Amino acid sequence: MHGGVEWIVDVEGLESAAIAGEHGRSALRALFAELIAALELHPLHEPIAHVFPAPGGVTLLVALSESHLACHSYPEAGYLSLNLYTCRARPAPDWEGLVRAHLGPARVCVRTIERGERAAQPQRAR
For every one of its 126 residues, what pLDDT tens digit does the chain have, with 9 covering 90 and above? 478 999 999 999 999 999 999 999 999 999 999 999 999 999 999 999 999 999 999 999 999 999 999 999 999 999 999 999 999 888 999 999 999 999 999 999 999 999 886 565 655 554
pTM score of the predicted model: 0.89
φ, ψ (nearest 5 deg) of residue 83 = -145, 125
DSSP string, 25-53: HHHHHHHHHHHHHHTT--BSSSPEEEEPS
- The pLDDT score that the predictor gives to residue 126 is 44
**What sign does the dihedral 11-62-68-92 (CA atoms) show?**
negative
Q: Is 92 helix (H, G, I), strand (E, B) or coil?
A: coil
- The pLDDT score that the predictor gives to residue 85 is 97
d(CA 82, CA 40): 18
